[in-house]
Amino acid sequence: MHQTQPRVPLPPPLTSDVPGTWAFDTMSRRVRTDILARIFRENQFQSHVVLRLQQLDTELSAAATTPLSLLPHDGGPDIIVWNEHILKSFVQQRCTWLSAPWAVAEFYLYRRIMTAIDYFKTPVDPFQLQKDLGLTSSIDSISALATRVNQILHNPSIPITSESTLQHLQTFVFISLWGNRIDLSLWPVGGADEHTVKATGGQRSSQSFASVLQAGQKMILSNHMTQLVSYISQLSAPCRFDIIVDNAGFELFCDLCLADFLVCTGIANVVHIQLKAHPTFVSDAMAKDVSATISFLQSIQSQQGADTSASILGHRWAKHLSSGKWKLCEHFFWVQPQPMWQMPSDLHADLSQSALAFVKGDANYRRLLGDLHWPFSTPFADVLCYFPSPVCALRTLKAELGCGMDPVQTQRAAREDDKWLVAGKYGVVQFCDTRSSARSQ
């Protein structure tokens, strides 16, 4: 029988009321000084919108004592889910922005921003500038990677025989993993905090990303790559794959490189790209951001003259979309805080058609784990056995939770860097074949 939730007892949720934690710093400081402040700076909203954003800022300035409230009817089709299923019990218990489960409070913040800006009447993305800069400032990395991708997929001297395909598969999975380091909510383009990647025009991320890829293996605290590759190599025919993506910008570019590889090699006959239904977590990708990325790639040729790699890629990706090899899917569940084992039945049924879902990034990973305080050594399969399809999490660590990590590795990481859980330097590649895991129970 298919598990409907983790097969081990559930620990308590992370909350953001413990001073000294990243969760506390996020909800009591970062969301105001980094996220809301940028929205004010980077948008020209009408005065009534500014007023609502200021009211939200006032609530957050007293986060420890301000209780969460239900959402007003703002035209969003998700109101009933939010008010009846997500918020009701926390509102009844008078949970505050800090005492409510962290995931609930943090997703709620972005949903409140949508209310404040009247998003469901006039869908303006308040993070558009950051998203645009995320692409343009990564142009060198994008061009370099585009050249490599085209060599692998088009150069007849690198045959796509099965052994080399599996080698390349690993490369593309690593690229997608480490693309998650470049996260605009942590490293805003042009920002100047401790996490900031130096914004030096077009060279923003090319050096850092090359060095991240090189550092690679030793920064991975749990690595199921062998099992992942073995599973994929045993699929008998081209199948559907899913990528539950995370950030727009350079990370999305990296994820689309993986999706490109999967369809060009015939490993996949279709890749469903699972996207957010409204702007959230600053940089999280929506369908429009995929289209913008492809248009940006197609335009690089005219900007750069000689280098056509990115533009070739952009045209190929546009064809993947028009031919139906790539399908863009937005769902409101992806912008909500519930544990993934509470996935709505339509999405569950749909994902159960997939041969494999790659789940990208930290916020999605938190939801895979229900944002709970698992002992770090809890086996990944004991938690993820409920997922509707075989699943591979590609996450760089940016929050104080995890599972499936050997204590030898976590102790090493803690010795090397006291911010190992949140700095995005360490990563995991974790795989669970939920179908065989169910059979072996």
- Residues in contact with ligand F1X by the rule CB under 6 A: 26, 106, 180, 183, 185-186, 246-247, 281, 361-363, 366, 398-399
The smaller minimum CB distance to ligand F1X, of residues 132 and 400, is found at 400
The smaller minimum CB distance to ligand F1X, of residues 26 and 138, is found at 26
Return contacts of 204-207, CB within 8 angstroms, 24+ apart: 204/137, 204/138, 204/140, 204/141, 205/137, 205/138, 205/140, 205/141, 205/250, 206/138, 206/140, 206/141, 206/144
CB of 427 to ligand F1X, least distance (A): 10
CB of 152 to ligand F1X, least distance (A): 26
Pick from 5, 437, 3: nearest CA to 231: 437
For residue 155, give both structure tokens: 């150069």
Buried b (16+ CB within 10 A) or exposed e, 33-49: ebbbebbeeebebeeeb
CB 50 within 8 A of CB 40: yes
The smaller minimum CB distance to ligand F1X, of residues 20 and 77, is found at 20
The smaller minimum CB distance to ligand F1X, of residues 270 and 413, is found at 413
Q: How far apart are CA 159 and CA 153, in angstroms?
A: 9
Q: How far apart are CA 112 and CA 89, in angstroms?
A: 18
State the first-to-last Cα distance of the chain, in angstroms, to the nearest integer: 9
CB of 214 to ligand F1X, least distance (A): 21
Q: How far apart are CA 17 and CA 98, in angstroms?
A: 5
CB of 355 to ligand F1X, least distance (A): 24
Q: How far apart are CA 248 and CA 341, in angstroms?
A: 25
The smaller minimum CB distance to ligand F1X, of residues 106 and 350, is found at 106
The smaller minimum CB distance to ligand F1X, of residues 143 and 247, is found at 247
Residue nearest ligand F1X by beta-carbon distance: 398
CB of 183 to ligand F1X, least distance (A): 4
For residue 384, give both structure tokens: 């993820």
The smaller minimum CB distance to ligand F1X, of residues 294 and 397, is found at 397
CB of 420 to ligand F1X, least distance (A): 13
CB of 211 to ligand F1X, least distance (A): 19
